[in-house]
Structure 1
Amino acid sequence: MIFFVLSSLEAFLFLWVVINPLWLPALHSYTNYSGNNTTVSVLIPLRNESKNVPGLIASLRNVNYEKLEFILLDDQSSDDTKSLLLQYTYGDSRFTIINGKQLPEGWNGKVHACHHLSNHSNSEVMFFIDADVRIEPTTIHHTLALMENQHASMVSGFPTYRDSKLVQFLVTMQHFVIHLHLPLFFANHTTRQATTAACGQFIAIKQATYKKIGGHEAVYNSLVEDVELGRLVKKHGERMILANITKLVSCFMYDTIQEAWEGFTKNIFIGIGRSKIGAVGLSIFYAIFYISPFLLAIYAVLNQQWMFLLPLVLTILQKGIVDIRTRTSPFYSLGMPLSAAMLIGVLWTSMYKAITGKAYVWKGRSYQ
């Protein structure tokens, strides 16, 4: 009886991840844009990003939108970030390099850097991207087309990830969580703040809207400032769109599983509102639906009861369809039980640090 209930629920979840993304627009499909005179600033904070500078600048140099400037902020790096920025941007007048300021007490480091960057932009639309992000030459054009077509004031999305194989089992869960847990119709077609998701690796926002909501200064101490900005946009009655940007935007997020673990630890518990009940509930959910099918599969193999493989097949299909849509190798769907276990582990690590008052450490800075 339990087997049939589990299989039925797995089948329902599979149908949900098939249907839910119908309301997740594909950024690359928007091509018609009438306002080619719109001025654009691409704003990028960099702190100890020397390994990313060559690839980042090569990506930006290929962008073919005309009314464009790139403003890059060296956020008090201790490596060669600044000198490499000067070297790789030499001769291209579209680039401006500025120095970061001392981090004020209470501010999140990246938030303060983005705030500083915004003060140097007078463009009609600002793009905030991270140093580990690479964009295609037409990304700006497609984003402006989406904003115009959908009457959106803000657009965000999760890139396709190009990390090492072990890291991919964790980072690609970001796409899966969005497809499974976020009702995308309400996220993209209502101003309900509870149904908001955004990714700070890629945010496009109108300058007028940014000023209206108070910009990054309004979320100065947040570790999930991307989501908070999206909620503020909705709170002010304007439209925020979460899009599938994976054909046009990629990211080299983490080199090692340790970096990935630390990166997710700093915001996953905060991302669910520091809810202990929510953390326990999510852990039970993923244990039942995405780890227990693996245990059933072991039983099936040992006892040659092949029908008990069905729940695992359905979990793999769920992750697989999300991986294909987000231009991730379906290979990683085979490790869905491992991905679920890693997600639970990161969540409990994050909750433990919050409960015990231990600081989250990132880029050499500590946050509570």
Structure 2
Amino acid sequence: MIPWVVLTLALLPVVFGAVNLWLLPRLRSASAPGLLVSILIPARDEAANIAACLEAAAASRGVAVEILVMDDGSSDGTGGIVARLAATDPRVRLLHAPPLPPGWTGKVHACARLAEAARGTHLLFIDADVRLAPGAAAAMAGHAAARGIGLVSGVPRQVIGSLGEALTVPAINLLLLGYLPAAGRAFTRHPSLAAACGQLLLCDRAAYARAGGHAALHGVLHEAIALARRFRAAGERTEVVDGAPLAACRMYRGLGEAWAGFVKNAREGMATPLGLPVWTLLLAGGHLAPFLLLPAGPAFAALALVLALRVAITRRAQEPWWTVPLHPLTVAVALAIQWDALGRAALGRGAGWKGRAYPATRGA
């Protein structure tokens, strides 16, 4: 009986994943005349990343761009690097974040102030560790304008350079494509089915204003999903597209940094007292239990299915092939991170990031 239950739990993400991989749109390179994309980059202690990020953004083609960087209290020379590049490129502007108001999280505050300063018809929020492809801004803005979509987002190709990253980062695409019905496509209008990735997120300016923008999310840590849900609640359409051809990102370096980063966002995702036991059943039952039940036939079938799914997602996301054999460990680590986050919240321990501490309560 149990092996058949495990097979059923494995079939769920396989079916969702097959449909989602088929539905996930890959944007074609195109020009977007008449539009201006404001590429908006919140930056706090990003001296190691910001120059390469700006160089990639400045290479954008097919649409007019301006590039705004919000230096959010950096102590490592980030602002100086941006100032030197701005002196040679009039499209680049350096802004300095005002003091963080009570109740705000740092990135959300910086994004809100960037949006206020932007002049574009479309606002493309990226992180400082993102490297845009030359046609990304034009493709995303053109897609949004042609289809009347208020928010377009995608998961960039994740650059994975260590074992610790391989045990954590691939869970992003696994959860998005394997467990979210329709993977955030625009025809799914309900806010609970919205998805977005804060590394690569483009908003139509008018839709952003109607939804309240980042100012409506002042205390949120996982701002991208919250923003997409707010867009949908305001009647705006949102869509996730294939982000691998549009940008690349090495979001963390090593297990410790990755663990801290994912713990920070977990309380606004899976790590809730009601939700996490369900997620544990789904993920452990579908991806870990088949190994424990071998050589039972249903368990072998379940194992083959989930590994085939992981191969398909890895190929589409352009992640390293050597991460595939680590799949059961990746799922186990993902669950451990979520339970760690829930335990921290239960003990009243808040999240910390970039030298700032935030309370254990969820953002509003």
Q: Please report how far the alpha carbon of residue 11 of structure 1 lies from its aligned counterpart in structure 2 after TM superposition.
A: 4.3
Structure 1 residues without counterparts, runs of 5 or longer: none
Mean Cα deviation higher: 66-75 or 355-364: 66-75
Aligned partner letter, 1:223: L
Task: Select 1:173's aligned residue among 171, 175, 185.
Answer: 171
The TM-score, its normalising length taken from structure 1, stands at 0.91
Q: Distance in 2 between matches of 1:306 and 1:282?
A: 25
Aligned equivalent of 1:70: 67
Match of 1:122 in 2: 119
How far the C-alpha of 1:145 sits from its partner, in A, is: 2.2
Q: Using a 3 Å threshold, how does the CA distance of structure 1 residues 77 and 184 change in structure 2: closer, same or farther?
A: same
Query: Structure 1 residue 131 and structure 2 residue 106: aligned?
Result: no
Which structure 2 residues correspond to residues 175-190 of structure 1 after superposition, within 5 A?
Answer: 175-184=173-182, 187-190=185-188
Letter in structure 2 aligned against 1:14: V
Segment of structure 1 superposing worse, 113-122 or 257-266? 113-122
Q: Is the 8 A contact 1:48 1:81 kept in 2?
A: yes
Instruction: State the distance in 2 between where 1:75 and 1:269 align.
Output: 24
CA distance in 2: counterparts of 1:60 and 1:185, whole angstroms: 27
- What aligned pairs does 1:298-313 form with structure 2 within 5 A after superposition? 300=295, 309-313=300-304
Please state if 1:324 is matched with 2:321.
no
Gaps of 5+ in 2: 360-364
Shift of 1:185: 6.7
| Structure 1 residue 51: Cα displacement | 0.9
Whether 1:87 aligns to 2:84 is yes
- Other-structure match for 1:26: 26
The structure-2 alpha-carbon separation of the partners of 1:23 and 1:307, relative to structure 1 and needing over 3 Å to count, comes to closer
Alpha-carbon offset, residue 148 of structure 1: 2.7
Name the CA distance, whole Å, in 2 between partners of 1:235 and 1:25: 23
Cα pair 2:162 2:253 within 8 Å, conserved:
no
| Shift, 1:82, TM fit | 1.3
**Map of 1:199 onto structure 2:** 197
Alignment correspondent of 2:362: none
1:357 is matched with 348
* Cα distance change, pair 12–228 in 1 and its aligned pair in 2 (3 A): closer
User: What is the root-mean-square deviation of aligned Cα atoms in Å?
Assistant: 2.0
CA distance in 2 between counterparts of 1:153 and 1:257 reads 35
- Structure-1 residue corresponding to 2:261: 263
**Once structures 1 and 2 are overlaid, which stretch shifts more, 100-109 or 7-16?**
7-16
1:171 alignment partner, SS class: coil
The residue type equivalent to 1:311 in the other structure is A
The question of 1:293 aligning with 2:284 is answered no
> Residue 250 of structure 2 aligns with which residue?
252
The alpha-carbon deviation at position 183 of structure 1 amounts to 0.7
Deviates more, 1:353-362 or 1:179-188: 179-188
Q: Are 1:315 and 1:336, in contact at CA under 8 Å, matched by a contact in 2?
A: no
The answer as to 2:204 corresponding to 1:213 is no
Instruction: Tell me by how many angstroms 1:307 deviates.
Output: 8.2
Secondary structure at the counterpart of residue 237 of structure 1 = coil
Distance in 1 separating the partners of 2:231 and 2:292: 44
* Sequence identity (%): 29
How far the C-alpha of 1:293 sits from its partner, in A, is 2.0
| 2:44 maps to 1:53 | no
**Structure 1, residues 191-242: CA drift from partner, whole Å, max 9, x if none?**
2111111111111111111111221111111112211211121122121111
Encode CA deviations 1:282-326: one digit per residue, 9 max, x unaligned: 1122222111222335xx4xxxx8986443222211111111111
Compute the displacement of 1:146 (Å): 1.3
Over 3 Å counting, the alpha-carbon distance change for 1:185 and 1:223 in structure 2 is: closer
Q: 1:209 to 1:2 in 2, by over 3 A?
A: same
Q: Determine helix, strand or coil for the equivalent of 2:192.
A: coil
Classify the secondary structure of the residue corresponding to 1:43: strand
Give me the whole-angstrom Cα distance separating, in 2, the residues matched to 1:79 and 1:6.
50
Deviations 1:242-300 (A, max 9, x none): 1111111111100111010000001113214x531211111122222111222335xx4
- Give the alignment's TM-score, normalised by structure 2: 0.92
Say which of 149, 161, 174 aligns to 1:152. Answer: 149
